[in-house]
Structure 1
Amino acid sequence: MIFDRATLDGIVSGRVDRAYRRWTHPQVKAGSQQRTAVGVIEFGAVEQVDADAISDADARAAGQRDAVTLRKKLARRVEGEVWRVAVRYAGADPRVALRQDADLSADDRADLDRRLARMDAAADEPWTRPALEVIRDQPAVVSTELAASLDMERFVFKRRVRRLKELGLTESLEVGYRISPRGAAYLDGSQG
């Protein structure tokens, strides 16, 4: 599910505890989680509801001004039914703590070596170390330029960097990326 920043902030503060969407079938399951810009959001009950029965209080609990505004947003999509999804803040994104962990044990390093080698093996040519190095050497540079410097399509580069981010090696900025403390420790301790 996509949430705007105001709604995410409302979920973190507890002011927003539900979302309404028009779907042909539910797109999330109760108990599942999603990482967002503010941390992890957990989904609770997913229930089909009558849009006309949504009150102003319900709309405010979903981060909307009133029921009329919410219904207008839901009407933008004509197919499907209206679903109410309970939402709550489940905590910080675990990747934040991971990327700060620069104290790599031998096991941590071996695990990263294995995972990066597997990523390289699945590609036409090794890309993980060059991508880490270009991000380290050119922080906050737009992805288009970084991808071009590696002779890579921008979308391929961005998809690959997301995989490095999952390992705690990089972090996204407003523009571009930077190497994380964990990524810097990995590069400093590995052979090029």
Structure 2
Amino acid sequence: MLLKQKILDRLAGGREALVFRRWHTPAFTPGQRLKTAAGPIEVGAVATVAPEDLSAADAEAAGFVTLDALIASFGPAGPTLYRAVLRPAAGAVPAGELAPEAAAALRRRLDRHDRAAGEAWTRASLALLSEQPASLARLAEGGGADRDLLRQRLRKLADLGLVTSDALGYRLSPNGLAFRRTEEPAPPPRTIHEP
């Protein structure tokens, strides 16, 4: 399930978020863990809710400016309306911070993707996206890859939590930025010269 950027930002900030959806059967179950661009999250309570029981605080936690905007997003009457509570997973490292062992695990996964493709595409893609968000067309031009192959490769980076997409195109997630920082060489030590 796609989550709005406002929800991901809220989760990345360590706060709970709410998701409202009309489902025949809930897509989330309490205790379920999910990988997102905001880091691993956990599903809390999942319950049916009536639109008239919602508050402005619910709208804000769901990434809406007003309660009316939240209610309008539900669309016409349909399947049962559910509210799911999402929160950062217990013990998870906040998005944008990578433990050394997590960075090492990502390096191994990226190396494996590069070997399977017979070319070093992972770091080049991350470097290109670190400059600015880019559309699929711009990335295809810059990397010389065909769009379908590029889409598959970006999906692999997204599955690792390194890339996300929005209206501007693809960009590095907070964890992608943190990983790029671990890949940069350390500056040379400074020496103090006495006169």
Unaligned runs of 5+ in 1: 121-125, 186-192
**What is residue 161 of structure 1 aligned with on the other side?**
154
**What is residue 48 of structure 1 aligned with on the other side?**
48
Percent of aligned pairs with the same amino acid: 24
Partner deviation per Cα, 1:82-115 (whole Å, 9 max, x = no partner): 001112233446785168977x6xx997776555
**What is residue 188 of structure 1 aligned with on the other side?**
none
Alignment of 1:10-21 (within 5 A): 10-11=10-11, 12=13, 14=15, 16-21=16-21
SS at match of 1:97: coil
TM-score (normalizing by structure 2): 0.57
Distance 2:37 2:106 in 1: 26
**Residues 171, 34 of structure 1: CA spacing in aligned structure 2 closer, same or farther, 3 A cutoff?**
same
**What is residue 28 of structure 2 aligned with on the other side?**
28
Distance 1:138 1:38 in 2: 17
**Residues 136 and 184 of structure 1 are in contact (CA less than 8 Å); yes or no, is this contact kept in structure 2?**
no
Partner deviation per Cα, 1:131-158 (whole Å, 9 max, x = no partner): 5346558952645344235542234314
SS at match of 2:131: coil
Q: CA deviation at 1:44?
A: 1.1
Distance 2:33 2:113 in 1: 24
**What is residue 189 of structure 1 aligned with on the other side?**
none
**Residues 165, 93 of structure 1: CA spacing in aligned structure 2 closer, same or farther, 3 A cutoff?**
farther
Alignment RMSD, CA only? 4.4
SS at match of 2:26: coil
**Residues 116, 77 of structure 1: CA spacing in aligned structure 2 closer, same or farther, 3 A cutoff?**
farther
**Residues 30, 130 of structure 1: CA spacing in aligned structure 2 closer, same or farther, 3 A cutoff?**
same
TM-score (normalizing by structure 1): 0.58
